[in-house]
Structure 1
């Protein structure tokens, strides 16, 4: 078991995950920046696994947005949710404030509606106040 990691400039948002981790069937949860930096994760998730998942989730969010944009023909598509259904369980990811994503991994037999409902409650309650991440400066002059 490792302690939650976050980038040096980021505040640790692990505490926002506590209500989700109490739900039946929820195994892990993490908060990440849109560019894949860990903002917080549950204490049972190995730090290296959390970092890897955050990077992959960031890429997946970008790919999902691009697919939706291409198929819909609309620019400026905003994702509401990404769901991965695997034999080992589900991954749910939703936007959670500015430049921030909330992700949860569950057991295969879980009440999907209950989990996503509580994720939405957490975001609605805390998202705009707490779960915001500054976009990183790309180093390019404007």
Structure 2
């Protein structure tokens, strides 16, 4: 992190630093880290302590995973609602919670096995709502300025 709290990125600084979305989530018991990512796999924000290369890799892999889940749901839903609320990966070491944020972004948190998944799910959805609103507002201001 630099002095402005932005994760360092190879080449250029983040165009948007959305790390603020993670701040309240990182206060939840047993939550260890997280990344905000764009649909195309770019890192938009990260928890303190997430190394640049790790954050970039997590963003890319998580975006790809979410894309694969979207393809699965599209294929299996057969005309039903195809909305994805969350993807949870459970391992012996902990949990990985992935949430899309509209069409253009998402976030992933990782937590120890002791974490309260219900509380994480609720708090993530609250933050996702704020993230979607912020991205929508940014898109409106870009369109208005064009």
TM-score (norm 1): 0.82
Does the 8 Å CA contact 1:29/1:103 hold for their aligned counterparts? yes
Give the helix-richer structure, 1 or 2: 2
Measure, in 1, the Cα distance between the counterparts of 2:107 and 2:14: 19
User: Any gaps of 5 or more consecutive residues in structure 1?
Assistant: 135-142
Number of equivalences: 133
Taking the TM superposition and a 5 Å limit, the aligned residue runs for 1:1-142 are 4-5=7-8, 8=13, 10-74=15-79, 77-124=82-129, 126-131=130-135
- Deviations 1:101-133 (CA, angstroms, capped at 9, x unpaired): 011100111100011110011122x12332458
User: Any gaps of 5 or more consecutive residues in structure 2?
Assistant: 140-146
Q: 1:10 to 1:98 in 2, by over 3 A?
A: farther
CA positional deviation for 1:49: 0.9
CA positional deviation for 1:23: 0.4
Does the 8 Å CA contact 2:14/2:44 hold for their aligned counterparts? no
Measure, in 1, the Cα distance between the counterparts of 2:8 and 2:135: 16
Does the 8 Å CA contact 1:98/1:131 hold for their aligned counterparts? no
RMSD: 2.3
